[in-house]
Structure 1
Amino acid sequence: MSNIVLSVENLSKQYRIGEIGTGTLSNDIKRWWAQIRGKEDPFSLVGQINDRTQKAESEFVWALKDVNFQVKKGDVLGIVGKNGAGKSTLLKLISRITSPSTGRVRAKGRIASLLEVGTGMHPEMTARENIYLNGAIMGMTKQEISRKFDEIVDFAGCALYVDTPVKRYSSGMRVRLGFAVAAFLEPEILIVDEVLAVGDAEFQKKAIGKMKDVSSGEGRTVLFVSHNMESIEALCTSCAVFKNGTILRQGGTKEMIELYLNDNRESTTQRLESRTDRKGNGRYRITEVDVCTNGQVTSYLKVGQLGKIILSISQKAMIKIPISISIGIHDSKGVRVSTLSSMFFPETLTVDRSFKVEFILENVALYSGEYFCNVFLREGENGDIVDWVQDAFILRIEAGDFYGTGRNNILQNDKFFINHKINLV
C-alpha cells in the first residue's frame, strides 16, 4: 500500500486581474460547457506567468502553473518563496478553500489548515464553541473532541477566556487557539502558513515542537510555509522553493534554503526604484538606499564604528501626512536581529515633499556577515502601509573593535538593540 498521502498533479490557478471568475457570464458558461464535455478550459490558453517584476501584458495571470509534487506520510514539507510566489494560493487549493483552474489534488484523510490569523474561528463564538465547531467540520464526534478539549485549551493558554467570544482575543491569542485546534484534532495533513510569526518566541518554540511530535511521533504529514529559514531547517524533512507560481526546485532542506537565499541575493541587487514586488498605497516610495561611513558611500559597515543608512524617498502624491519609517534587519536564515525605526522616537515625521532619512548607527553592534533588510513606510504608527519592500538591500558587516581592546572582537550577545538616531534631510 502506498504511503503517499498528498499528491498534487499539474495544478494551476488562473485569475483575471481585477475580476472574479472570467469577468462575464458568457465566458463562465463557455468554461462550464467545456468542463462537462471533458474539453480543455478555453481560458487556460491565455494569461502570463505570475512575475510581479514585469508589466502586465494580459488580463489573465497564472497564480500557479503546472505544479507537481507528492508528500509521504510523516513527512514535513517546507514551502519557501518570496511574497507573491504562489505559496498561499497552493495551500488554499489543497485546503479546498478555492478550486483549481486545471489539475487536481489527491489527499488521504482529514486536512486541518491554519492559513492566516483567525482562520476557521467564528468571531462571535467563544473558544469552546469554536473548538467543537471545527472538530465537527472535520468529521469528529462530540466525544472525540471532548477528549482533546483540555489539551487544546492548555496549549493555547486561554483557559481563563475559554467562554469569551474570539473577537475579544488579541491576534496572538487567536493564532495560539487556531494552531492548537488544528494540531490537536488529529488531522492526517496539517497545513501551517506563516502565522507563527505573529506569536511570541515561547509559542513558536512550542508550536514547532508540536509539529515535530505530530510528524515523527504520530506519523502525520505537515506542510509548513515560513520566511524564517531557521524554523524551516529545524522542522522540515524536505523543502520546495516557489518562484513566480511554479516550483523552482524541490529537495533536501539545507540545499533548498541555500538556493532560496542565493535567489534572494540576486533580486536584492536590483535597483530599489525599479522593484515592483512591493506593497503599499504608493503615496511615497523608497527609491534608494545608501550605506555610509566617514562621509563616504561604502559597501559595508564595521563592528564598533559609526555608520549611516540613508533612505531616499520620493513623493508620488501631493499630500502632507505623518509617516513612520523602519528598517528590519534579518540574518541569512530570516531571523529578525534588530529594527531601526522612527517609531522609537517621540518626534513625528510629517512631510509634503521628496526627502531623505538618515539612520545614524553610533556603534555598530552586529556580528560580521550579511544581513537582509526590509524597508517599511507607514502612515503614522498604525495607519495604512505606504511602501514595503522585502529584502530591499543587503547590509554587509565587517569585524571590528567593538570593546575598544585594540583588536577585532566577537560579540557576546545573541541579539542587539542597535543604538541609533534619525535625521530628516
Structure 2
Amino acid sequence: MKDKPIQLHSVTPSFGGGRGEDNIILKAENISKQYRLGQVGTGTLSHDLNRWWHAIRGKENPYLKIGDTNDRSTKGSSDYVWALQDINFEVQRGEVLGIIGKNGAGKSTLLKILSKVTAPTTGSIKSRGRIASLLEVGTGFNPELTGRENIFLNGAILGMTKKEIASKLDEIIDFSGCERYIDTPVKRYSSGMTVRLAFAVAAFLEPEILIIDEVLAVGDAEFQKKAIGKMQDISREGGRTVLFVSHNMAAIQKLCTKCILLQNGRFIMQGNTEDVLNCYLSQSVLNDSEYILNTKMSDTKNAYATKLCIEDIDGNLINEIPIGKSWQVKIFFTVNKETKNLVIALGMTDMLDTPLRTTWSLPNDFEPGVYSATFIEDKIKFNQGQYKLIIGISRGSEVIEYIDKDVFLTISDMVYEQENSVINNKSGVIVDQMRMQVKKEL
C-alpha cells in the first residue's frame, strides 16, 4: 500500500489527459476495497469514530494499514480483509474485456465498484458514458412490477426517455423469449426467465459500457449462445464496451479480445486472451501423478472409483509425459455387490473442456472386490500442454460414477521420440484408441 492513499467515495465522470486517452472509456486507478469480517454492526461504531477522529485531524485511516490478503481458504489474523488491493487497468472503447480468477479472487467486488453499487476504499474509477450492469439474477428489477414495467424502469435509470425505450421494446421482448409473461410480475419468473429479460434490457438499451457477471450461466444453452452472439455484435458493430466475468473458459476465449487475471484480490496480469488463459489454467493444474478420487467408502453405489495413477509404460508413477513416450492411466475402483454389464470409461479434454478422446471397456460382470483398469496409450501422441481426464463408470444407460474435475495430465515439451503421429489438440474426438486391462486387486 502506498503512503497516505487518497480515500474516495465517488466515481470520477471524465478524464484528463491528452489525445492518447481519447479512446479509453474506463480507467481504474489504485482501486482497493477493504471489508471487516464477522457479523455486521459488531464493534463497527468505535471503528467509525476512530476513522472520523483521524480524518478531522488530517491523518490517514488507521485501518488501511492492517488487513489480510483475500484468501478464502485460510484463517487470517486480522478482522479486516482486502477484497481488492491496488488494481490498475484501462479499457478501450469497443473492447470486450474478460475478468477471470478463482472463486473469491475479487471479480464480483470489482464489478460492483465499476457499476457504482459500492464505493472503493481507496482509488478512483474514471468512465465515459452510461454503464449497465447484470451482476446477479434480478439486478435492478422490482419483483412487484411486470416485465414490461421493469423494462421502462431500467431504461429510466439509464437516463433514456420513454420514447427511446418504447422504440426498443419489441426487440427486447423478442430477444428475451418471455413474450407470454411480459405482463406478469417478475416475482413469478424463473431465474432463467429473469436473466433472459435482464440481459435483453441491458443489451438493447444501448449503454456505452455493459458489465456482466457469471449470471449468464443460469440460462439454458440456447440463451447463452444468443447472449454471447449479442455481446459480440454490440462490441463490433455498436462500438460499445463489454466487461465479462465467467468461469466458462470457452466463452471467454470466444468472446473476449483481452483479459485480466485476479488472484486473492490482487492484479496478476492483463493481456491478450490466450496468454492470460494459459497463465490462469497453469495455476489450476496440480500436476500430480496420483489422485485420490473418493476419500470415503460408498455402500450406496454398485461401484465407485477410488484412485487414479498416471504411469509410464513400465508402471512407474510420473507427473509429466515427454512428447512421443507411451503412457498409461490406472483407475482403481471398488465393486460393492455383484454387478453385470459394468463399463469403465476414460475421457480426455483440453483445458477449455474441448473433448479430445474417449475410451471404454467392454461390458463385464464383476463380483464384489477392488479392481484396477489400466488404459495404455501407445498409438496416439498428443502435443505439449495440460489436459483434463474424466472418469466414468456405467451400467447400460445408468451412470454410476462420473468425475470430471481436478484430474490433470501434463505432456512436457521434452521430445522422447520424434514421430509424425503427434496430433493437433482440436482435431476431433478419438474413440477407443487405447489398449485396456482390468484385473482384480483384492
Normalising by structure 2, report the TM-score. Answer: 0.66
Report the counterpart of residue 181 of structure 1 in structure 2.
201
Give yes or no for the alignment of 1:14 onto 2:34.
yes
Report the counterpart of residue 102 of structure 1 in structure 2.
122
SS in 2 for 1:392: coil
Give yes or no for the alignment of 1:393 onto 2:420.
no
Report the counterpart of residue 256 of structure 1 in structure 2.
276
Q: For residues 158 and 360 of structure 1, what CA distance do their matches in structure 2 show?
A: 50
The answer as to whether partners of 1:115 and 1:191 remain within 8 angstroms in 2 is yes
The answer as to whether partners of 2:289 and 2:309 remain within 8 angstroms in 1 is no
Q: For residues 258 and 229 of structure 1, what CA distance do their matches in structure 2 show?
A: 10
SS in 1 for 2:407: strand
Structure 1 residues 216 and 103: alpha-carbon distance in aligned structure 2, compared to 1, 3 A threshold: same
Aligned-partner residue type, residue 250 of structure 1 = Q
The answer as to whether partners of 1:118 and 1:178 remain within 8 angstroms in 2 is yes
SS in 1 for 2:65: coil
SS in 2 for 1:180: helix
Structure 1 residues 311 and 91: alpha-carbon distance in aligned structure 2, compared to 1, 3 A threshold: farther
Q: For residues 245 and 63 of structure 1, what CA distance do their matches in structure 2 show?
A: 5
Structure 1 residues 31 and 51: alpha-carbon distance in aligned structure 2, compared to 1, 3 A threshold: same
Report the alpha carbon displacement of residue 39 of structure 1 after superposing the two structures with TM. Answer: 3.9
Structure 1 residues 58 and 258: alpha-carbon distance in aligned structure 2, compared to 1, 3 A threshold: same
Structure 1 residues 412 and 221: alpha-carbon distance in aligned structure 2, compared to 1, 3 A threshold: closer
Structure 1 residues 98 and 21: alpha-carbon distance in aligned structure 2, compared to 1, 3 A threshold: farther
Aligned-partner residue type, residue 146 of structure 2 = T
Report the counterpart of residue 210 of structure 1 in structure 2.
230
1:55 to 56, 75, 78: 75
Structure 1 residues 107 and 409: alpha-carbon distance in aligned structure 2, compared to 1, 3 A threshold: closer
Report the counterpart of residue 332 of structure 1 in structure 2.
351
Larger Rg: 2
Which consecutive residues of structure 2, in runs of 5 or more, have no partner in the other structure? Answer: 1-18, 293-304, 321-327, 335-345, 358-369, 376-380, 392-402, 412-420, 433-441
Structure 1 residues 92 and 248: alpha-carbon distance in aligned structure 2, compared to 1, 3 A threshold: same
Aligned-partner residue type, residue 394 of structure 1 = F
The answer as to whether partners of 1:79 and 1:242 remain within 8 angstroms in 2 is yes
Aligned-partner residue type, residue 82 of structure 1 = K
Structure 1 residues 271 and 310: alpha-carbon distance in aligned structure 2, compared to 1, 3 A threshold: closer
SS in 1 for 2:202: helix
Matches within 5 A, 1:15-164: 15-20=35-40, 23-35=43-55, 39-164=59-184
Which consecutive residues of structure 1, in runs of 5 or more, have no partner in the other structure? Answer: 274-285, 301-305, 313-326, 339-355, 362-366, 376-388, 398-406, 419-424
Report the counterpart of residue 168 of structure 1 in structure 2.
188
Deviates more, 1:57-66 or 1:166-175: 166-175
| Deviation by residue 1:356-406 (Cα, 9 ceiling, x = unmatched) | 999999xxxxx978544799xxxxxxxxxxxxx995332579xxxxxxxxx
Give yes or no for the alignment of 1:231 onto 2:251.
yes
Q: For residues 104 and 264 of structure 2, what CA distance do their matches in structure 1 show?
A: 7
The answer as to whether partners of 2:382 and 2:422 remain within 8 angstroms in 1 is no
The answer as to whether partners of 2:290 and 2:309 remain within 8 angstroms in 1 is no
| Deviation by residue 1:305-352 (Cα, 9 ceiling, x = unmatched) | x9875699xxxxxxxxxxxxxx998641256999xxxxxxxxxxxxxx
Aligned length: 358
Report the counterpart of residue 296 of structure 2 in structure 1.
none
The answer as to whether partners of 1:229 and 1:335 remain within 8 angstroms in 2 is no
Structure 1 residues 22 and 210: alpha-carbon distance in aligned structure 2, compared to 1, 3 A threshold: farther
Matches within 5 A, 1:366-385: 370-372=386-388
Report the alpha carbon displacement of residue 241 of structure 1 after superposing the two structures with TM. Answer: 0.8
Report the counterpart of residue 8 of structure 2 in structure 1.
none
Q: For residues 117 and 255 of structure 1, what CA distance do their matches in structure 2 show?
A: 31
